[in-house]
Structure 1
Amino acid sequence: MIRIATMHDLEGVLRLYKELRPFDPKLEADFVKEKWADIINDSQTFIVVADINGQLASTCALSLNKSIANQARPFGIIEHVITLNKFRRQGLSKKTLEFAISLAWKSNCCKVMLLSGEQLQGAHSVYETVGFKSGIEKGFVIKP
């Protein structure tokens, strides 16, 4: 089942994020719960999950960003597209992305953007199957 994450999904989402970013330091439990509540209660942020018999198998995050450009329509950003290794090649990333994109269109977004590591060619193929195109705009990243 593809759905929006709830407060009860914290452990499953943390497990997914650990697969994506295995070297991130573990955060203190109360801090994580507070930040998770902020995310879940934010009307502009959606964590989409694929739930397979009670186990979260895949996720992506959609943020809606308000704007006064493009007729004051928001734009969406998708990040943290992850599928647990044992559930890969079952179309779950595609389904979570389609769900997130659908939410963006229902929210009147003028566009949806997604950044991906340059070397992740397999992931890029998935993104293209749901309609993302490279070469339209160029992404840039700065990190502290």
Structure 2
Amino acid sequence: MFRAARPDDFEQIIRLYRQLNADDPVLADGSDEAAFQQIVSSPGLHLFVLELDGVVVATTYLNVIPNLSRSASPYAVVENVVVDESRRGTGLGRQIMAGTLQAAWDAGCYKAMLMTGSRSPATHAFYRACGFSADVKTAYLARPPERATPPPSTGGAPSPAAS
């Protein structure tokens, strides 16, 4: 069953996210659950799940973003597409992506975008089979700078923060 995530789905979704990003730290301070609660209660943010026999086996995260261009039509960004490792290759990924894209179209989005860091040809074939095209736009990614301590002063001109 394709449906919106409910507040009690947190543990099952986190289990899938750990399959997606095994190197992510386990957060003991509850900030992940707080972010989850914020997502499920915010308009325009849609966390979807695919449930089989009471178990969440796939998830996607759809962000519907208001827009001033394109006749003020919103656009969508899809993130965190995960199918349980034991069920990959069974059509569940296409099923949850179809529901996710339909939700974007129902919200009036004029386009839906996603990015993947995967180099796997199978991943790219999957997204093409879901209706995405890699040859229409170019994506660029910026990350925040590393937070390093500033180097010690060398006795030259003072830094702007030192005035």
Per the normalisation by structure 2, the TM-score is 0.84
| SS across alignment from 1:43 | coil
Q: Deviations over 1:70-118 (max 9, x none)?
A: 0001000001111111011111111111111000000000100010125
Q: Within 5 Å, which residues of 2 pair with 1:52-131?
A: 52-131=52-131
The residue number in structure 1 matching 2:10 is 10
Distance 1:100 1:125 in 2: 18
Long gaps (5+) in structure 2 = 145-163
2-structure distance, mates of 1:51, 1:18:
18
Q: For 1:84, give the aligned amino acid.
A: D
Instruction: Tell me the distance in 2 between the aligned counterparts of 1:30 and 1:8.
Output: 15
2:136 aligned partner? 136
Q: Could you tell me how far 1:29 is from its partner in structure 2?
A: 5.2
**Separation of aligned partners in 2, 1:29 and 1:94:** 34
1:66 Cα shift?
0.7
DSSP-derived class of the 1:70 partner: coil
Query: Quick check: which has more Rg, 1 or 2?
Result: 2
Q: Percent identity?
A: 25
Quote the Cα distance in structure 2 between the aligned partners of 1:92 and 1:143.
32
Structure 1 residue 120 displacement after superposition: 2.6
Aligned partners of 1:53, 1:29: CA distance in 2, in Å? 31
Q: Distance in 2 between matches of 1:54 and 1:37?
A: 20
Root-mean-square deviation (CA, aligned residues, Å) is 1.2
Other structure's SS at 2:46 match: strand
Aligned residues: 144
User: How far apart, CA to CA, are the structure 1 residues paired with 2:4 and 2:103?
Assistant: 10
More displaced 10-residue stretch of structure 1: 23-32 or 50-59: 23-32
TM-score by length of 1: 0.95
Runs of 4+ residues deviating >4 angstroms: none
Q: Does 43-52 or 29-38 show the bigger shift?
A: 29-38
* Secondary structure, counterpart of 1:47 in structure 2: strand
Q: In structure 1, list runs of 5 or more residues that go unmatched.
A: none
